[in-house]
Structure 1
Amino acid sequence: MPLMPGAEPYHHEGGQIGVLLCHGFTGTPQSLRPWGEFLATAGLTVSLPRLPGHGTTWQEMNRTRWEDWYAELDLAFADLQGRCAEIFVMGLSLGGCMAFRLAEVHGTGVRGVVAVNPSLSLDAPLLRFAPLIKLFVPSVAGLAGDIKKPGVSELAYTRTPVRAAATLPRLWTLVQSELERITQPVLVFHSPQDHVVKPTSVRILRERLTGGNLDVIELTDSFHVATLDNEADRIFTGSLDFVRTHASVPLQRD
């Protein structure tokens, strides 16, 4: 299946600190590529895989489910474990949810988590009824491109594959049920003007991560795809500072 131009995965071999970047639902690595390149320039080893069914056609994505997307990230995580002393996981939207799941499963194998507008909650009417809707229609209008900055676009599907979307509630339930397992440092960037993910997800994190390991930074000039928006630099530099603060091995520049 041919890839959309620009949807290719990104990898950079750097130092002993690895970062696994996770893109969002119906999106592609393009939405995180500038972030990955910034971290690579700082000397980090970066892995930004393309999730199965993404970056090709929404019809193909309808043949995948959340377990397929997570499995791809888990493989990338295992690869980083073989090459790095420490690993941080970071993600946008659903990718943020996947990053939390990796932290739940791998425990101290994950040094820290950075999430941008993470999606953890069933707060969209479409997804609430997706298990029923999928029996009648294969796709609905997409939610991509929620960016405030003029002239910037997100490489993502213009249609939402309903059968794939119908698997998301089970992921959210699972991640929420095990959030207490996350004791690693967590940094969340949150856009109050997010038209895709409601504030419920950040509220859940504040309620469940009560060990003093959660820090939330508000992005007042960005929409949902904040990694491509007006405050992208804040995310990039903030995540690098986070790594510098919590890593136990020094960064290595190329």
Structure 2
Amino acid sequence: MPPLPGAEPFHHEGGPVGVLLVHGFTGSPQSMRPWAEHLAAAGLTVALPLLPGHGTRWQDMQATRWEDWYAEVEREFSALRERCEQVFVCALSMGGSLALRLAARHGDAIAGLVLVNPSVRSDNPATVLLPVLRHLVPSLPGVANDIALEGSAELGYDRTPLHAAWSLSRLWRTVQAALPEVRQPVLLLHSPQDHVVSPANSELVLARISSTDVTEKLCERSFHVATLDHDAEMIFESSLDFIRRLAPAATTDAEHHLG
């Protein structure tokens, strides 16, 4: 099934510094598109894939598991590595879990991580019921569109498919176990008022990763989908500053791009 209008993947051929962007659970590239375009305009090579089962209808997600979503992230990362000198990963929500797994497995091949409201643990006591509940109920109300900014909307599912939610809970366990293996520079941005992912998620990441170059910033005026919210520009600019600090070629890219 073709993706919904706006949910299509996005790719841009730029300079020698690449950025992989990863969207969240039941979301789509639409939530990351302005960010991707901002980085592309700065001369970076950008990949923003559509994760399997996403961007069409929630029923399509029922047949997918976290391994499928991760495989797509891994594939896009490999493609970027082949043509870029340095690769960064920027992620939102569940995309943060997938990015952290990638970082734990690929070490120095990833130059840095930018995480926005990463989701790495359950905030719902009912998660323990998912192994059984998923066989009784196909879906529950969705989590998309938690945005403070008037008129801004996320293109995501209005239902949460429970087979996929159960698989997400297994991803969290896998990622938590490997957090100490994450050593790359990290920029973590999170919203104090997030109705989907609690601040305990960011606290867990910061407490367990082994990275020594860590910057934490608050998205004070945004809810969960901060990439489409009041703090979007701050996120875009902060991530670009972070990338340019760690990849000098990214600055020359921009000059070349403008020139």
Q: What amino acid maps onto 1:200 in structure 2?
A: A
The 8 Å contact of residues 243 and 250 in structure 2, kept in 1 or not, is answered as no
- Rounded to whole Å, the distance in 2 between the matches of 1:250 and 1:116 is 21
Q: TM-score normalized by structure 2?
A: 0.95
Partner of 1:38: 38
State percent identity of aligned pairs.
Answer: 53
Task: Kindly report which structure 2 residues correspond to 1:53-92, keeping only aligned pairs within 5 A, or say none.
Answer: 53-92=53-92
In the superposition, relative to structure 1, how do residues 211 and 84 fare at CA in structure 2: closer, same or farther (>3 Å)?
closer
In the superposition, relative to structure 1, how do residues 87 and 210 fare at CA in structure 2: closer, same or farther (>3 Å)?
closer
Partner of 1:242: 242
How far does residue 99 in structure 1 lie from its aligned partner after superposition? 0.9
The 8 Å contact of residues 65 and 164 in structure 1, kept in 2 or not, is answered as yes
How far does residue 97 in structure 1 lie from its aligned partner after superposition? 1.2
Q: What amino acid maps onto 2:87 in structure 1?
A: I
The 8 Å contact of residues 44 and 250 in structure 2, kept in 1 or not, is answered as no
How well do the aligned residues superpose, as a CA RMSD in angstroms?
A: 1.1
Partner of 1:197: 197
CA deviations on 1:135-168 (whole Å, 9 max, x unpaired) are 1011110011000000111000000000011011
Name whichever of 62-71 and 94-103 sits farther off. Answer: 94-103
- Rounded to whole Å, the distance in 2 between the matches of 1:213 and 1:98 is 20
Task: Kindly report which structure 2 residues correspond to 1:79-118, keeping only aligned pairs within 5 A, or say none.
Answer: 79-118=79-118
How far does residue 214 in structure 1 lie from its aligned partner after superposition? 2.0
In the superposition, relative to structure 1, how do residues 211 and 103 fare at CA in structure 2: closer, same or farther (>3 Å)?
closer
Partner of 2:149: 149
- Rounded to whole Å, the distance in 2 between the matches of 1:211 and 1:7 is 33
CA deviations on 1:96-134 (whole Å, 9 max, x unpaired) are 111111111110000000000000112223433221111
- Rounded to whole Å, the distance in 2 between the matches of 1:77 and 1:11 is 12
Q: What amino acid maps onto 2:201 in structure 1?
A: S
Is residue 181 of structure 1 aligned with residue 181 of structure 2? yes
Q: What amino acid maps onto 1:123 in structure 2?
A: D
Q: TM-score normalized by structure 1?
A: 0.97
SS of equivalent to 2:14: coil
The 8 Å contact of residues 52 and 61 in structure 1, kept in 2 or not, is answered as yes
How many residues matched?
A: 254
Task: Kindly report which structure 2 residues correspond to 1:153-172, keeping only aligned pairs within 5 A, or say none.
Answer: 153-172=153-172
- Rounded to whole Å, the distance in 1 between the matches of 2:27 and 2:227 is 12
Runs ≥4 in structure 1, deviation > 6 angstroms?
A: none
SS of equivalent to 2:151: coil
Partner of 1:12: 12
CA deviations on 1:181-221 (whole Å, 9 max, x unpaired) are 11110010010000000111111122213553221101110
- Rounded to whole Å, the distance in 2 between the matches of 1:7 and 1:209 is 32
How far does residue 61 in structure 1 lie from its aligned partner after superposition? 0.5
Q: What residue ranges of structure 2 are gaps of 5+ in the alignment?
A: none
